[in-house]
Amino acid sequence: MAVATTAELAEQDTRRLERYRRVTYRSFMLASLGFLGPGLAALVGSYAAGDLAGPLALAGLAGLGVLFACYLWLVRTGLDGGAPRRALVVSGAVTAALTALLLADPLFSVVPVFWVSAVALTPMSRTRIAALCGGTGAVCGVFGTLGAERLYPGHAMPWFGVLPILVAVYTATCALVAFLNRYQRGTWELHQQAYAGRDALARLAVTEERLRFSRDLHDLLGHSLSLIAVKSELAMRLAEADPGRAGAEMSDVRRAARDALREVRAAVHGYRAVELDAELAGVRAVLEAAGVRCEVGDLPDGLAPEVRSVLAWVIREGATNVIKHSEARRCAVTVVRRDRSVVLEMVNDGVRAAADPRTGPRTGSGLAGLAERVAVHGGEITSGPHGRTGFLLRAAVPLPREGGPAGGPGASPAPDALPAGRTA
């Protein structure tokens, strides 16, 4: 039965992180229209009005193209850990040259603001960010004041009144966009940390399980194998001198080997066994990590260990099918006692549109093995569509009679087993 889905879940987490990275990067690409559009409009308008000569307009157009490439460079490297110094220097020089075009049109004021927003994605101290915003605001304020004197020579306010206002406005605007972009970068870092944390927890769980298994095997086999080695060596020495004593020692060796084999089999069986409570908690955590809201009802009291074990296998396989073969956003698990049986139902809302309406979604081959496992206990597995977009997996397992195992003589299957649907 295909129940080991750790690798598939890890691959799904990787795809989700990559998808979020692409969405974040493309959102910044879309934001670049905020300076490309006004910049192109300002170039066309200034050239048409005669405020900008043709060569300067072509140089400004080339500068916008270079700044767009630098903007994408700053965003990509900033999200990946930090932009190199040469990217900051080159983009800063191009931005300063384009900022001078404020003498021709005030729309060019968006260019340095967007440059600050891209630079702010690179990790830096608050002091450096404040200096960056203050310096950019001062440069923009100077060019803006000169542009206002050139374009609007008859305005009422003198230049020494306009300059501090423009410096304060540009500085505040740069600080705002820097804060917003750093907040978005912080969200991206949280996604990376969550991914790294899940990966670290998975590796730690595997490591702890390996250590526990190796420790248990050492405790089980260390004494037995030492005893077998000592008695075997003693029997070899006594084989000629005292054959009877050697035979007795070899009998002890055989008994010790059988005891060790029985203990190892019991230990392996314990590792392979699954517990209903632990499986429910694990399945709920896995489904919610995969974006599926999982609702689990209360468990009936007094269920026999063999019944709890087989129901745990049903839950594990059902969760595997939800993750692998559906697009569910909600999954509900209920376990109820009915007469002389216990019924487990798993319902999800993730039937894919391409599924055959007569047979429901593809659920893989795991249910076939699961049906055999349940049939050993006299139970039955049924599955099929449930409503318009739902899918129902149901297992009915008879409770063992007093003094007898489940599914033994006299055990009857659940009277309310699902009559319709596709039997696994």
What is the tens place of the pLDDT at every residue in 365-411?
567 777 888 888 888 989 888 888 888 999 999 988 765 444 443 44
**Counting beta carbons within 10 angstroms of the beta carbon of residue 187, is it exposed (0 to 12), middle (13 to 18) or buried (19 or more)?**
exposed
- Domain segments of the chain: what residues? 6-196, 207-272, 276-423
**Counting beta carbons within 10 angstroms of the beta carbon of residue 363, is it exposed (0 to 12), middle (13 to 18) or buried (19 or more)?**
buried
166 Cβ contact partners less than 8 Å away, ≥ 6 residues apart: 140, 141, 144, 145, 148
Sign of the CA dihedral with 339 first, then 344, 348, and 353 last: negative
Least confident stretch, 50-59, 91-100, 180-189, 360-369:
360-369
**Burial call 99-112: b when 16+ CB within 10 Å, e when fewer:** bbbbbbbbbbbbbb
Mean pLDDT of 108-128: 88
Taking the C-alpha atoms of residue 155 and residue 144, their distance in angstroms, rounded to an integer, is 14
- What is the per-residue pLDDT for 396? 92
- The answer to whether residue 358 scores a pLDDT higher than 50 is no
177 Cβ contact partners less than 8 Å away, ≥ 6 residues apart: 113, 114, 116, 117, 120
Q: Closest by alpha carbon to 370, among 35, 31, 11, 1?
A: 1
Do the strands 293-296 and 330-338 form a parallel or antiparallel pair, or are they unpaired? parallel
pTM over 0.95: no
Strand, coil or helix: what is 395? strand
- What is the per-residue pLDDT for 274? 59
* Residue 345: count of CB within 10 angstroms of its CB: 20
Least confident stretch, 142-146, 172-176, 285-289, 290-294:
285-289
Taking the C-alpha atoms of residue 140 and residue 102, their distance in angstroms, rounded to an integer, is 8
Comparing 358 with 266, which gets the higher pLDDT?
A: 266
Fold of the CATH domain 276-423 = Heat Shock Protein 90 (3.30.565)
Give 352's pLDDT tier (boundaries 50, 70, 90): low
The strand pairing partners of 341, in sequence order, are: 338, 398
- What is the per-residue pLDDT for 359? 40
At 241, the amino acid letter reads A
- What is the per-residue pLDDT for 345? 92
Q: Which CATH number fits domain 207-272: 1.20.5.1930, 1.10.10.10, 1.10.1040.10, 3.30.465.10?
A: 1.20.5.1930
Helix (H), strand (E) counts: the chain: 11, 6
Strand, coil or helix: what is 67? helix
Taking the C-alpha atoms of residue 397 and residue 315, their distance in angstroms, rounded to an integer, is 13
Q: Mean pLDDT in the chain?
A: 79
Comparing 259 with 272, which gets the higher pLDDT?
A: 259
